[in-house]
Amino acid sequence: MKRKLGSFASALACLALTTGSASAWEPSKPVEIVVAAGAGGASDQMARMIQVAIQKNNLMKQPMVVSLKGGASGAEALIYMKSSSGDANRLLIAYSLIYMLPLSAKIPFNWRDLTPVSVVALDQFVLWTNAQLPYKTVKEFADAAKSANPPFKMGGTGSKREDHVLTVFLEKKTGAKFAYLPYKSGGEAATQLVGNHTQSNVNNPSENLEVWRAGQVRPLCVFDKERIQYKTKVTDTMSWNDIPTCRDQGVDVQYLMLRAMFLPGKVTPEQTAFYVDLFRKVTETREYKEYMEKQALKPIFLTGKDMLKFLEEDDALNKSLMTEAGFVAN
């Protein structure tokens, strides 16, 4: 009985403390980060980095748990978030699928149904080939691809998504034709390239990092208007910065992918404000900075009006790319 009283008292004390610090909202139960992809992929890795950064730097009282909802190419996560309206203990770590999936597969989802919190990074895409193949430049590769019969195989993640779109634009700019093989994950696309089952892929840096370091794949160019900024050597001879842009190599295809945090719809401004502040702090941690460099991500922090403007523009861009590639379902 005594112990019960004691715990009751301490519960009261807690209550007093929380009401004491008034106004500012704080999560009262563990916060769930929803990953719209399989385990070990780029989204999952980032979610776990955020989890560690928050925990190590004591940025939040409640623990954070990562929950994987990669079913139906990530549609599972989108529907889950949509149906969690009003629940401020749930965050989606979003990427370009929020624009593309509703277009290609007619998933009943619109990112405007959710509450944007912040854009935390931009991800790059790189054209990779097997290191045993002789092609050292995009031109050599494209020329070989043009005359190849059967056509070169391009591995990628999913169908009618960012990797597929990039492949279509690569075809348009070079005149080569590829047989696009949609795998379930970037990791699978990477190992299939190493095993010589495909000639190339357009993986994110993080997805091919390990096999690049093992000398099994060769980067040809990065799909951005400027080179990746990181100059620390990744392999014996090269840094991320040593990879030329595709534009400089005569193939003007550019694509950057957002990595952003969303809350479900119908949350209060106080709740949103808490998370905006939380992720601002996350982007200032050492863990975040190291992660950006290791995975060759572009650091960025957008929130509020800036973020909305970015999302609208990005949405329009993705829509036009998807339409041009012929991937929009009727």
Q: Tell me the closest approach of the beta carbon of residue 195 to other proteins, in angstroms.
A: 4
Q: Are the C-beta atoms of residues 309 and 94 closer than 8 Å to each other?
A: no
The secondary element (H helix, E strand) that includes residue 123 is strand 115-123
Taking the C-alpha atoms of residue 101 and residue 206, their distance in angstroms, rounded to an integer, is 22
Of the ranges 21-29, 102-110, 217-225, 301-309, which one interacts with other proteins (CB under 8 A)? 102-110
- Helix, strand, coil percentages (3-state) for the chain, rounded to 5, are 45, 20, 35
- Is there binding between residue 106 and other proteins (CB under 8 A)? yes
By CB under 8 A, tell whether 130 contacts other proteins. no
Residue 181 binds other proteins (CB under 8 A): yes
Note whether 107 binds other proteins by CB under 8 A: yes
Q: Does 111 bind other proteins (CB under 8 A)?
A: no
- Burial state string for 41-52 with b = 16 or more CB within 10 A and e = fewer than 16: bbbbbbbbbbbe
User: By CB under 8 A, is residue 144 in contact with other proteins?
Assistant: no
Structure tokens at 47: 């979610």
Q: Tell which one of 22, 150, 232, 237 touches other proteins (CB under 8 A).
A: 150
Count of other CB atoms within 10 angstroms of residue 202: 27
Residue 146 is a binding residue for other proteins (CB under 8 A): no
**Residues near other proteins (CB under 8 A), total:** 43
- Residue span binding other proteins (CB under 8 A) among the ranges 67-75, 201-209, 227-235, 246-254: 67-75
Min dist CB 72 to other proteins, Å, is 4
**Least separation, in Å, of the C-beta of 291 and other proteins?**
18
Q: Is 49 one of the binding residues for other proteins (CB under 8 A)?
A: no
DSSP letters of 209-276?
Answer: HHHHHTT-EEEEEESSSS-----SBSSSS-BGGGSPBTTTTT------EEEEEEEPSS--HHHHHHHH
**Could you say which of 68, 121, 126, 253 contacts other proteins (CB under 8 A)?**
68
For position 265 contacting other proteins by CB under 8 A, the verdict is no
73, 115, 204, 271: which one contacts other proteins (CB under 8 A)? 73
Q: Which stretch binds other proteins (CB under 8 A): 15-23, 149-157, 282-290, 304-312?
A: 149-157
CB of 70 to other proteins, least distance (A): 9
Measured from the CB atom, the residue of 180 and 255 that comes closer to other proteins is: 180
- The residues near 53 (Cβ < 8 Å, ≥ 6 apart) are 59, 282, 285, 287, 288
23-35 burial: b if 16+ Cβ within 10 Å, else e: eeeebeeebbbbb
Least distance between other proteins and beta carbon 111 (Å): 17
Q: Is 264 in the site for other proteins (CB under 8 A)?
A: no
Residue number, 192 or 249, with CB nearest to other proteins: 192
187 binds other proteins (CB under 8 A): yes
Q: Look at the block and give the residue holding tokens 């590829």.
A: 178
Burial class (CB in 10 A: 0-12, 13-18, 19+), 11: exposed
- Candidate ranges 54-62, 123-131, 187-195, 226-234; the one touching other proteins (CB under 8 A): 187-195
In 21-111, which ranges are E strands? 31-35, 64-68, 90-94
Cβ distance 30 to 65 under 8 Å? yes
Give every CB contact of residue 55 below 8 A, 6+ residues apart in sequence.
Answer: 63, 64
CA atoms within 13 A on the CB side of 223: 25
What are the residues binding other proteins (CB under 8 A)?
38-40, 44, 68, 71-73, 75-76, 79, 83, 104-108, 150-151, 153, 158-161, 164, 179-185, 187-188, 191-192, 194-198, 327, 329
